[in-house]
A and B are shown apart, each in its own frame.
Chain A
Amino acid sequence: MSHIWKMVFKRLGLGFLTLFIVSLLIFLATELLPGDFAQEFLGQSATPETVAAIRRQLGLDLPMHIRYIQWLAGVLHGDFGTSLANHRPVIDLIGGRLGNTLFLALYAAAIAVPLSLMLGILAALFRNSFFDRFVNASALTSISFPEFFVAYILIFWLAGMGGMFPSMANFRGDPNFLDMLYRTFLPAITLTLVVTAHMMRMTRAAIINLLASPYIEMARLKGMTPMRVIVRHALPNALAPIINVIALNLAYLITGVVVVEVVFVYPGLGQLMVDSVAARDMPVVQAVALIFAAAYVLLNLTADVLATLSNPRLVHRR
């Protein structure tokens, strides 16, 4: 097992290096945005003198590399700076919203991952049957529509006409856990519809890819049922690609849900990111982008470790 720990530490180190490079890219990208906070804040009619004054006050007039080093030094101490827009510490702004984003992502994943695994296995079992085609066609249909369209359709049917679920997913009035599940049901279902197709099709493909293997033929010649052949003999060998595609989709659930958050007025990180970019509130943009990058790095690391653990040839060396 020691070589697995070695791999984890090596990958963590590389992850930090990646994050460092990402931080540089984020900083450069925000610099490339036209205008800065001072201009956005004061609007069209501001005089050059007041703009310059605000810049000086906020330290925006310093050369880029100095601002980067100052920011990076802060981040390394856990200080993401203060928001330019409302002067609150960035960490406070992000804290609650990060929780909300993770809650919604986990909620959607808890539905989508088991569902897509099950559908993928069944589609592989009944490959080329009507069921297989139906599942594939539905999954492709749901992934082909833009998220906001799926969201509005769900709102129309489940919130508007039936009135079963709320169309706005906010957490006003300190709801309990079940209440939260109820209020965020529609966004979770929307996200499920968006990510299921990818995972389900990968599961199906990874399993079918193995069906020509000699050990699958052997299992059939041992008189095993088709279900057992798929679940017991093909699936364990197909885990690595499936785990990777799940990790990719989880990362998407954390970082790519802006549209869904906007439609359902859900207070998540995505909305915060978009608002802050519009206001040129750079400390917030940088912090959120860094969190997104960290989510990708961590999920991919987890996926690699799990994929390694799923392969006895890598765990139990000769």
Chain B
Amino acid sequence: MSDTSNDTRDPLLTMRNLRIEGRADDTWGEIVHGIDLDLYRGEVLGLIGESGAGKSTVGLAAMGFTRDGCRISGGEIRFDGIDLTEASEATKRHLRGARIAYVAQSAAASFNPAHRLMDQYCETPVQHGVMGRTEAENDAVDLYRRMQLPDPEQIGFRYPHQVSGGQLQRAMTAMAMACRPDLIIFDEPTTALDVTTQIEVLAAIRNIVEQFDTAAIYITHDLAVVAQMADRIKVLLRGDEVEEADTRSMLAQPREDYTKSLWAVRSYARAEQPPVAEGTVPVVSIKSITAGYGTVDVLKDVSFDIHQRRTVAVVGESGSGKSTAARVITGLLPPREGEIRFDGEVLPPDYRRRSRDQLRQAQMIYQMADTALNPKLRIRELIGRPAQMYLGLQGRKLTDRIRDLLSLIELEPDEYIDRLPSELSGGQKQRIGIARALAAEPKFIICDEVTSALDQLVAEGILKLLDKLQGEFDLAYMFITHDLATVKAIADDVVVMKEGRVVEQGLKADMFRPPHDPYTELLLSSVPEMDPDWLTNVLSDRT
């Protein structure tokens, strides 16, 4: 990363008083309220903020691009002397891909499923007339190698679905480098990845940006990540700039309250609980479970217990079998071997053979509150239906119960009871998901990545609420997550899973204290920290 005090040169990219409007229901409303930005050659600017802050909108505007339903309504965007707000479509097309490139959040969705990686790589240099097909192919192999992709000679001839998420993200960065652009926009490139994969992608991105001295705008909501990547950080909140400073001083002494609150989020932790007394019967106990789809075993000999008033965090990367374990416990996927006990009593493996009361006792809260709530039902029905079905509540009693539940999840009953899910924010939807689970008066709740789709401040509210409800109703939680910060905040016990097996399990305090199992060690050491030298140190430790 280059010296940022080098202000004598002209900036590569400037934005002055940039205003962008978005359309909702046929009226235009401003979503970016006058952003100023300067970016010099070879410099990396971090753009951070919660969802709705306008990070991606500003990032795309740097390419003179707005998504459908958005328009630039004022201000100036100047890239290397060209005013992008005035430039013709053809001029902007010649810049995009060639001089300003884009790396999207989900490489899996942003690679075209119909074409091989190599064809998609070569498209940019060949169509922009930078080099011929053969030359581009050779160059791709070189960049794939620099991005530390396995089998760089051959990987380009695979289709996107044949390549893993972390590899795709690196292939996409290589593709963005194809024409050696002056500027790359990285739009949350590692958000969808596991921590152990994220660290490799971060290292590869940082490496290649330094090698070619490319300027970059790095968009993310993760402060620890941006601390590794950026020379300077700009904080956005609802389309306004909060503050901007170089990375080290921003981390050391944030000026604004909002920035400080972002920094403070990760400090929440639940009080430590003593270990469970010997001989207590666990609420849920699974023993030697082997289960899978088709001929493939996704879970291999998995056993763990969950006790009353305790939270067991099940941690692991995608594909480790966390969610499959939840499906086995709920009876959606009958296991091939092993047994599931509830309060000491063996449950039928298939949910269709469980009694209504057994079903009532175990409820579930999902990752995507958006898709887990029927968009056509009002809150009254969403929460009321389980209360009606499991507890037989009717009429006045039912309404009272719904209102109680809404108060429990800290939503004003009068205001929310007749709303539709589309009239709620992401955090509120997740609260409705919680109320729906509570409506059945369960003993045990499975929380499947319930905070991973939420902003940090909102997520923290949800964690606190879950904590409070557990104390009030003596609930047992199984908390599926890939985020170790969440584990620190909420868990009593931890189960670490890898490739369908339990690698390590025990009290949270033991898990975060060495010595660790090597895999747990890898997981723990891959979680980015707020220290700008963290990535460099971890990488040098590992080699």
Counting chain A residues whose Cβ lies within 8 A of the other chain, the interface size class is 20 to 34
Known: A236-B115, A313-B159. A221 touches B65 (CB 8 A): yes
Contact of B104 among A218, A224, A233, A237 (CB under 8 A): A218
Contact A214 B106 (CB under 8 A): yes
Q: In the complex, A213→B112 CA distance in Å?
A: 9
Which stretch in B76-84, B92-100, B505-513 binds the other chain?
A: B92-100
For chain B, the count of residues having a C-beta within 8 Å of the partner chain is 31
| Residue contact B123 to A224, C-beta cutoff 8 Å | yes
Annotate B114-141 by CB proximity to A: 1 below 8 A, 0 otherwise. 1100000001100110000000000000
A318 at the A/B interface (Cβ < 8 Å)? yes
Known contacts A212-B68, A233-B112, A312-B114; A221/B159 CB under 8 A: no
- Say yes or no: B162 contacts A214, CB within 8 Å: no
Does residue A217 face the partner (Cβ distance < 8 Å to B)? Answer: yes
- Please state if A316 and B159 are interface contacts (CB–CB under 8 Å): yes
A67 within 8 A of partner (CB): no
Q: For the complex, is B299 an interface residue (Cβ under 8 Å from A)?
A: no
* CB nearest neighbor in B for A318: B162
Name the contact of B63 in the complex, choosing from A221, A313, A318 (C-beta under 8 A): A221
A 247-266 to B, binary, CB cutoff 8 A, 1 in contact else 0: 00000000000000000000
A233 CA / B101 CA spacing, docked (Å): 18
User: CA separation between A117 and B15, bound complex, in Å?
Assistant: 43
Is residue B110 contacting chain A, with contact meaning CB distance below 8 A? Answer: yes
| Distance between A233 CB and nearest chain B CB, rounded to angstroms | 5
**A313 touching B161, Cβ below 8 Å:** yes
Min C-beta distance of B113 to chain A, whole Å: 6
Contacts of A214 in B (CB 8 A): 104, 106, 109-110
Give complex CA distance A54, B102 in Å: 82
Shortest CB-to-CB span from B210 to chain A, Å, is 23
CA distance A302 to B94 in the complex (A): 42
> Quick one: which of A237, A310, A318 contacts B112, CB cutoff 8 A?
A237
Min CB gap A223→B, angstroms: 4
A212–B67 alpha-carbon span in the complex (Å): 9
Interface presence of B111 (CB below 8 A): yes
CB <8 Å contact, B112 and A215: yes
Whether A313 contacts B93 in the complex (CB less than 8 A), given A222-B123, A224-B127, comes out as no
Q: How far is the CA of A93 from the CA of B229 in the complex (A)?
A: 79
- Is A245 interfacial (CB 8 A cutoff)? no
| A221 and B97 form a contact (CB under 8 A) | yes
A212-B68, A312-B114 known; A223+B109 contact, CB < 8 A? no
Answer yes or no: A219 CB below 8 A from chain B CBs. yes
Instruction: Please give, as numbers and ranges, the residues of chain B lying within 8 Å of A219 by CB-CB distance.
Output: 112
Q: How far is it, in angstroms, between the C-alpha of A212 and the C-alpha of B109 when the chains are bound?
A: 11
For residue A311, which residues in chain B have a CB less than 8 angstroms away from its CB? Answer: 113-114
Nearest A residue to B127 via CB reads A224
Per the bound structure, the CA–CA distance linking A318 and B160 in Å amounts to 10
Are A223's CB and B124's CB within 8 A?
Answer: yes
Is A88 among interface residues, defined by CB-CB distance under 8 A? Answer: no
Contact present for A217 and B161 (CB under 8 Å): no
C-beta contact mask, A209-244 vs B, less than 8 Å → 1, else 0? 000111101111111110010001100110000000
Contacts A212-B68, A223-B124, A312-B159 hold; do A217 and B110 have CB atoms under 8 A apart?
yes
- Residues on the B chain within 8 Å of A217, using CB: 67, 104, 110
A188 to chain B, nearest CB (A): 33
Q: Which residues of B contact A213 (CB under 8 A)?
A: 109
User: What is the minimal beta-carbon distance from B158 to any residue of chain A, in angstroms?
Assistant: 8
Contact indicator B94/A313 (Cβ below 8 Å): no
List residues of chain B with CB within 8 A of the CB of A310: 114
Which residue of A has the minimal Cβ distance to B106?
A: A214
CB contacts (< 8 Å) of A212 on chain B: these are 68
With both beta carbons as reference points, the residue of chain A lying nearest to B159 in the complex is identified as A312
Most buried by B among A213, A222, A224, A225: A222
- Taken residue by residue from 47 to 74, chain B's Cβ proximity to chain A (1 for < 8 Å, 0 otherwise) reads as 0000000000000100101011000000
Given the complex of chains A and B, what is the CA–CA distance between A240 and B158 in angstroms?
A: 21
Interchain CB contact under 8 A, B110 and A223: no
In the complex, chain A residues whose CB is within 8 Å of the CB of B60: 221
Taking the closest CB of chain B, its distance from the CB of A9, in whole angstroms, is 21
- Residues of B bordering A, CB below 8 Å: 60, 63, 65, 67-68, 92-98, 101-102, 104, 106, 109-115, 123-124, 127-128, 158-159, 161-162
Further contacts, 11 of them, CB under 8 A, given A221-B97, A232-B115, A316-B161: A212-B68, A215-B112, A217-B110, A218-B110, A221-B102, A223-B92, A233-B112, A233-B114, A237-B113, A312-B159, A316-B159
Question: What are 6 of the A-B contact pairs (CB < 8 Å)?
Answer: A223-B94, A224-B93, A232-B115, A236-B112, A237-B112, A313-B161
9 nearest interchain CB pairs? A223-B96, A223-B97, A236-B114, A222-B97, A214-B109, A221-B102, A215-B112, A214-B110, A218-B110
